[in-house]
A and B are shown apart, each in its own frame.
Chain A
Amino acid sequence: MTTATTGSTAAGRDGGSPGSASAGGAGVGDAVAVAVTDVPSTQVTATPGRRAAGRRNRGRNLLLALWLPVVLLVGWWFLSANSTSPYFPPLQVILQSVWDEWVIGDAKTQLWPSLRHLALGFIGGSLLGVLGGALLWRLPVLRKGTNPIVYFLYVLPAPALLPAMIALFGLGEARQVALIAFGATWPALLNTLDGMRGIDQVKFDTARAMKFSSLRTVTAVVLPGASPQIAAGLRASLQVSIILMVVSEMIAASEGIGYFILYAQTVFAIVTMWSGIVVLSVLGTLLNYLFVFAEHRLLGWYHGSRAVGTDKA
């Protein structure tokens, strides 16, 4: 970092991240307002204008982003090629097993129950969280009253509830969905509440002066104003949901990818276990990137406006 120009090429990238982290915690008096806002570091916002230079930069950045993962993979391949350690089989053997078990074989049937529980739990919990957050935003008395309880349920490590969920719902699918939904609710709820409270009061006054209907106020003021933080909350919810999906399959379960990996481990089928780990890692990564992609499509206007702002500054 000796020249001033390195700073400006990076501006598009770090531009968005600093604010959201501290802004979540700042400016809110309630103890509940713990910023769960993860820093949106996966967002690469293109700097508008300067197209040709931008294209050249993009090519360079793409190369820079790709070479290390490729080198690591190749390194893993060759370093593990003659491995005799029972725990770390050669990468070639692992990938062969991924192909045999997950592409040709039946292991992929383990994915459907996992994804079904995840989808039901995540969507159900997020809906509960967003609606609950909106409700608490509208009803300050309820918000003050439930503050300690909501806070308690948010910081409670959700996997600890799994034995209780088994007691409550038995060994069926219901307890898995319920656990995932429970974990997904609180980050969504707190971020929704925080996002809605952060909307400038002037906007509401303007909406009232312009005689907006309540529906129009919601769609034109509340949702656009709070959606960036709601999205941050939902991403935190998704991450918790994935952990809970796997944990719930690792205890007293008989299907799912978590069960598959742990079962392979207990019978010392190390290569099979590795194949499960690879598939789960890819699945988790894909879901995360899918979310970021969807967020960018839906909130493109917001990231766009932020990028322009940082470009000026």
Chain B
Amino acid sequence: MQVFATYTRAAVVPLVTLALVLASWQAVTVSGLFRPDQFPTMTATLQALGTALGTEALWSAVGATLQGWAIGLLLATVLAVVIGSALAANDVAFRSAASVIELFKAIPAIAILPLVILVLGSTLDMKVFLVAFGAFWPLVIQVVYGVRSIDPTVRDTARVLGVGGVRRFLTVTIPSASPYMATGLRIASASALILSVVAELVGGAEGIGRAILFARNAGVTSYPTMYAYILVSGLLGIVLTGAFFLVEKRAMHWHESQRNAKDNELGAR
């Protein structure tokens, strides 16, 4: 019972706050503080959201955004794991490449967007390239640090037992580096979503970003739809980040950092 009460209370406070926020949204729009061509009412927006959720247009836009996000991120991950592990294996190679990687990581990926649009057009390829370019540099750094953080005892044990080549890569190197890669992937996933939306807004590729812009261009009557689409893009962010969070918890349960997290959580209760 005690536990049940705690959980109820934990859910009530956020719900009350959410209700308050929604109510004040309605208040500032109905009272005329914001005009309908600035900020539509909460009820109109939620209604538009309900309608939009039933349309194919929304789901194909969401699908297109997810497609660009997923392919770009996958491409960046594969490249980062291969190149990162290779660099980490050799001190000279690592030190030589580090400055170049840092430099490219510091360059805002969006700088090359007009060039990419020019060469690839308003296509999925354009979006994928931008996402992969933006996600690759932070990921490859994480892979390098992850592989280099491998416990020397584990490494030497693997060598003594004659575990080598692909098998060592899959059973020793990758698991050792995985906590770093998980952190890198979480950061890369967020920036991949941002870059997907940018590629759609500026580059005109199909997706939720373009849908938002089209709704704005369609005039004041479709503003509730525009805000509904923005809410959808936020929900997309929640789903993607949440999924990574859960996968990380599941897949990394054996790792020290997660074990500590669990202990701390238990201790805090």
Q: Which residues of B contact A274 (CB under 8 A)?
A: 115
Q: A17-B145, A64-B92 are in contact. Are A25 and B257 (CB under 8 A)?
A: yes
Closest residue of B by beta carbon distance from A140: B13
A82 at the interface (CB under 8 A from B): no
Closest residue of A by beta carbon distance from B197: A157
A159 to B208, CA, bound (A): 11
State which of A48-56, A164-172, A295-303 sits at the interface with chain B.
A164-172
A246, B179: Cβ atoms closer than 8 Å = no
State which of A26-34, A97-105, A121-129 sits at the interface with chain B.
A26-34
B2 at the interface (CB under 8 A from A): no
Q: A261-300, CB under 8 A of B: which get 1 and which 0? A: 1101100001001100100110011001100000000000
State which of A65-73, A202-210, A215-223 sits at the interface with chain B.
A65-73
A157 to B99, CA, bound (A): 29
B96, A68: Cβ atoms closer than 8 Å = yes
Q: B162-193, CB under 8 A of A: which get 1 and which 0? A: 00000000000000000110011011001001
A160, B91: Cβ atoms closer than 8 Å = no
A18 to B179, CA, bound (A): 9
Q: Which residues of A contact B238 (CB under 8 A)?
A: 151-152, 155
A112 at the interface (CB under 8 A from B): no
B108, A22: Cβ atoms closer than 8 Å = no
Number of A-B residue pairs at CB separation under 8 A: 217
Q: B57-86, CB under 8 A of A: which get 1 and which 0? A: 000000000000000000000000000000
Which of chain A's residues 223-281 have a Cβ closer than 8 Å to chain B? 239-240, 242-243, 246-247, 250-251, 258, 261-262, 264-265, 270, 273-274, 277, 280-281
Q: A68-B97, A265-B114 are in contact. Are A7 and B152 (CB under 8 A)?
A: yes
Prevailing SS type, chain A contact patch: helix
Q: A154-196, CB under 8 A of B: which get 1 and which 0? A: 0111111111101110000000000000000000000000000
A134 at the interface (CB under 8 A from B): no
Shortest distance in angstroms between B229's beta carbon and chain A's nearest beta carbon? Answer: 8
The residue that B103 contacts in the complex, of A22, A87, A285, with Cβ under 8 A, is: A285
Q: Which residues of A contact B127 (CB under 8 A)?
A: none
Shortest distance in angstroms between A8's beta carbon and chain B's nearest beta carbon? Answer: 11
A163, B180: Cβ atoms closer than 8 Å = no
Q: A64-B92, A277-B111, A289-B106 are in contact. Are A144 and B13 (CB under 8 A)?
A: yes
Shortest distance in angstroms between A288's beta carbon and chain B's nearest beta carbon? Answer: 4
Besides the known contacts A151-B238, A164-B230, 5 further A-B residue pairs in the complex with CB atoms under 8 A apart = A68-B96, A168-B34, A246-B108, A251-B213, A285-B107
Interface of A with B (CB < 8 Å)?
Answer: 1, 4, 6-7, 9-10, 14, 17-18, 21-23, 25-29, 31, 34-36, 38-39, 41-42, 61, 64-69, 72, 87, 141, 144-149, 151-153, 155-164, 166-168, 239-240, 242-243, 246-247, 250-251, 258, 261-262, 264-265, 270, 273-274, 277, 280-281, 284-285, 288-289
**The 7 residue pairs across chains A and B that have the minimum distance between CB atoms:** A155-B237, A145-B17, A156-B234, A22-B257, A265-B114, A163-B216, A64-B95
Return 6 A-B CB contacts under 8 Å, by A number: A27-B264, A155-B241, A156-B230, A160-B208, A265-B115, A284-B107
